[in-house]
Amino acid sequence: MCGAKAGGPDASTIKPGETTIQGQVTRDGEPVTGYVRLLDSTGEFTAEVPTSATGQFRFYAAEGTWTLRALVPGATADRTVVAQKGGLAEVAIAV
């Protein structure tokens, strides 16, 4: 089960006890707008959110191993993340 929040992460909106995956998409050190997909451990699509104007994204997900796929104009990039129950996983994705 996954819930996704569009827009940039705001630490004040993180729900205590929720498993959260968040981060930022950049190109050459600058934020990039686009989309980030959440794929489960078998590569199946689970959710997608647009990035904020500052390239930020957030997912609320179950614990486990996930792949994040950034989709931005002219590029894609994948990052694997292991989410711990009730934890916060911060991910930087450079495309």
Q: What is the pLDDT at residue 3?
A: 47
Q: How many CB atoms lie within 10 A of CB 58?
A: 24
Phi, psi dihedral angles at 13 (to 5 degrees): -100, 0
* Structural domain boundaries in the chain: 19-94
Q: What is the pLDDT of residues 14-54, one digit of tens each?
A: 666 789 999 999 999 999 999 999 999 999 999 999 999 99
The model carries a pTM of 0.83
Distance CA 21, CA 32 (A): 18
Whole-number Å distance between alpha carbons of 32 and 14: 23
Angle, CA of 75, 34 and 4, to the nearest 5°: 125
Query: Which of these CATH numbers, 3.20.20.70, 2.60.40.10, 3.40.50.10310, 1.10.3720.10, describes 19-94?
Result: 2.60.40.10
Per-residue pLDDT, averaged over 67-75, amounts to 97
The structure tokens 């050190």 sit at 29
